[in-house]
Chain A
Amino acid sequence: MDRTNTVIAFVCQAEKRKKLISALQSKYSNLRVIPVICIGKLNPAIIFRLLLKDAKAVILLGCDPSDCHFREGSFFSERRFFLLKEVLKGFGFNDKLLNIIWSNPGKDTSTLKNIASFMQYLNESHMEKGA
């Protein structure tokens, strides 16, 4: 398995999502979960690097803006990730490789469904970078 088959997921408020994380790690062998304390902490430069060079795809799982524990992390992140996607689109990069999910810790089932369909889409399309 080479590095270009790995999907990296950044998950915020990981202590509250233990069930979800263990379910994901057991189901998908090529998915790696990296916890962060708040999705607002993520430096988009890291995400650019991962998408362009290292990982196959990136999942960003943040709390719904209506319920960010730190109040405003998700609001600022919405704008930052929007600009991130637009920069990817502006360069012609396939922005579908970046999956941004806004979901509260209690809503595990819908998050799992979202990730499942995303992983399936990745497997089926055999996408090259930038396609």
Chain B
Amino acid sequence: MINEIRDAIIHYLASVMKKEDAILALRYSNTPGVLTPFIARNKEDLNSIEAGFFHLNNLAVYLSEFFQRENQLSKLNGALYIVCKPCDAKSVMQMISDQQIVADKVKLLVYACEGIADMKKIKAEIGLDKDYKTIELHHAELSLTLLDGTPLSIPKAKVLADKCLECNGEYNISLPYVFVGDEKKWKTNASNFGKIEKKVLLQDQKQGKELFEQLKSELSVCIRCNACRNVCHACFCSEKCIFDRPKMTVGFLDKEIAPSDNILYHMIRFYHVAPNCTACGECERVCPQGIPLSHLYDYFHRLMQESFDFSPGSSDSIRQAMLSYRLGEDLA
């Protein structure tokens, strides 16, 4: 199934790709099970494109790189194709709404995703002291070969990412895009995918001091590596971030990495990205300390929907919720 999708993507791209075009996609790297982003410039490169269960990266964040910095791709004469899952496409839409990428040069290629892996769960299944040398998905079974040669088989459902369990197949792309796979079938399947009706959030279970203490201890392991900030498409300030400006750093954050400072850093970052966050989950995936950031963000996702009736990533022209107001709205 996965191979079929991959072949379909390559087949489509081979037919439409022109000489000056470039394609942003993922391919195998040295590490088993890890795909790495690359840019395909010609038809030979196309064959290395991979997609499917291990397509973990949200490639939308690289688009702003191309449009904001000077590099070969910013001088691209042709179109830039981006291979993305439906949830990544929402990020692209939100970035266009925030005027970080130019819509005419980008061509979306969305494929029928069957869910992605959560590497932490795989690690937990095989044991923290073990490692694998090959890993492949065959239909609903993940088969691995450990370093000592033992084969292992894990059902796919066990190691599926949390956000896939809640996927409802809803996305609303207002740009011209190409869907590789059967779109209607995918939408019907996806809407039955998520069994979780209403998510129970951390903030629902605990409030007040209890919650603060728990978060303080969870965030105390933060080493302020800024990986979550760098991988986030909603953090588009990049090197112009307020936390990087010398005068502002003295104003907002001190140089020390103290628990109170970590909470302050994340609070301000949450406040800034809440209107743009499309819940792609990348921040949690890249955190070296394993802080469940995406689970914290779900609270704000729900807030935006309930209070302002605004869903980030649903449109490339409607501006985010903080830039407008309604007369007579009652914000409790």
Contact = CB atoms under 8 A, between A and B. Distances in A.
So, do A and B actually touch in the complex, CB under 8 Å? yes
Interface stretch (B80-88, B147-155, B191-199, B212-220): B212-220
A84 B264 CA distance: 12
Contact of A78 (B209, B214, B323, B331): B331
Interface in A40-94: 44-46, 48-49, 52-53, 72, 75-76, 78-80, 82-84, 86-94
A105 B329 CA distance: 23
B251 A92 contact: no
Given A44-B271, A79-B321, A87-B274, A52 B264 contact: yes
Contact of B208 (A78, A82, A94): A94
B134 interface: no
A1 interface: no
Given A49-B252, A52-B264, A86-B300, A91 B211 contact: yes
A45 B268 contact: yes
B38 interface: no
Contact of B213 (A72, A80, A92): A92
Interface string B242-281: 1000000001110000001101101110111011000000
A91 B271 contact: no
Contacts of A90: 203, 270, 296, 299-300, 303
Contacts of B272: 45
Contact of A130 (B209, B261, B322): B209
Contacts of A48: 264, 267-268, 271
B contact patch SS: helix
Given A45-B242, A75-B325, A90-B299, A83 B209 contact: no
Given A78-B331, A82-B307, A92 B325 contact: no
Given A49-B252, A52-B260, A79 B322 contact: yes
Nearest to B209: A131
Nearest to B304: A83
B206 interface: yes
A53 B300 contact: no
Among B242, B267, B308: residue with most chain A CB under 10 A: B267
17 contacts: A45-B271, A49-B251, A53-B264, A75-B325, A79-B325, A83-B275, A84-B271, A87-B267, A89-B207, A91-B263, A91-B266, A92-B210, A92-B213, A93-B267, A94-B208, A130-B212, A130-B216
Given A78-B331, A89-B207, 6 more contacts: A48-B267, A48-B268, A76-B322, A84-B271, A86-B303, A92-B210
Interface of A: 44-46, 48-49, 52-53, 72, 75-76, 78-80, 82-84, 86-94, 130-131
